[in-house]
Amino acid sequence: MAGLTLFGPSVQAQSDDTVAPEVVSDTPSDTPSDTPSDAVARVDVLQVSGFVDPILVEAIGEAIDRAEADSSQALILQVNSDATVVDDDVVEDLLVRVANAPIPIGIWVGPSGARFYGTAAQLLAVADVTGMAPGSRVGYIGVPLDPPGLPEGTSVDFGIAEERLRNGSVGLSDARSLNVFKQRVDDEGVPTISNMLQAMNGYEENGVEVVTTKLVVLDDGSTRFDTVSVVRFSKLTLLDQLFHTVASPPVAYLLLLTGLALLVFEFFTAGVGLAGGIGAISTVLAFTGLAVLPTQPWAVVLIGLAMLAFAIDVQVGIPRFWTGVGIVLTIIGSWFLFEPVPGSSMRPSWLALIAGVGGIILTFIV
pLDDT digits (tens, 9 = 90+) for 215-274: 888 878 787 888 888 999 998 999 999 999 999 999 999 999 999 999 988 887 655 678
pLDDT 10s digits, 165-191: 999 999 999 998 898 987 666 656 789
Q: How confident is the model at residue 128, as a pLDDT?
A: 94
Cis status of the peptide bond prior to 111, with omega within 30 of 0: yes
CA distance 15 to 22: 9
Percent of the chain with pLDDT over 70: 87
pLDDT 10s digits, 150-168: 998 899 999 999 999 999 9
Residue 24 has pLDDT above 60, yes or no: no
Kind plus residue range of the DSSP H or E element containing 298: helix 297-316
Q: How confident is the model at residue 3, as a pLDDT?
A: 39
- Among residues 193, 199, 235, the alpha carbon closest in space to that of 56 is found at 235
Q: Please, are residues 260 and 304 in contact by the beta-carbon 8 Å criterion?
A: yes
Map residue 308 onto helix, strand or coil: helix
Residue 320 has pLDDT above 50, yes or no: yes
CB burial of 169-186 (b: ≥16 within 10 Å; e: otherwise) equals bbebebbeebebbbbbbe
Fold category of 3-237 in CATH: 2-enoyl-CoA Hydratase; Chain A, domain 1 (3.90.226)
pTM of the full structure: 0.84
Count CB atoms within 10 A of the CB of residue 366: 6
pLDDT 10s digits, 324-361: 999 999 999 999 999 999 888 899 999 999 999 999 99
Q: How many CA atoms lie within 13 A of 63 on its CB side?
A: 30
Cα 165 to Cα 14, 122, 135, 273, 307: the distances in Å are: 29, 10, 17, 52, 42
CA distance 176 to 257: 45
The residues that bridge with 130 in the sheet, in sequence order, are 107
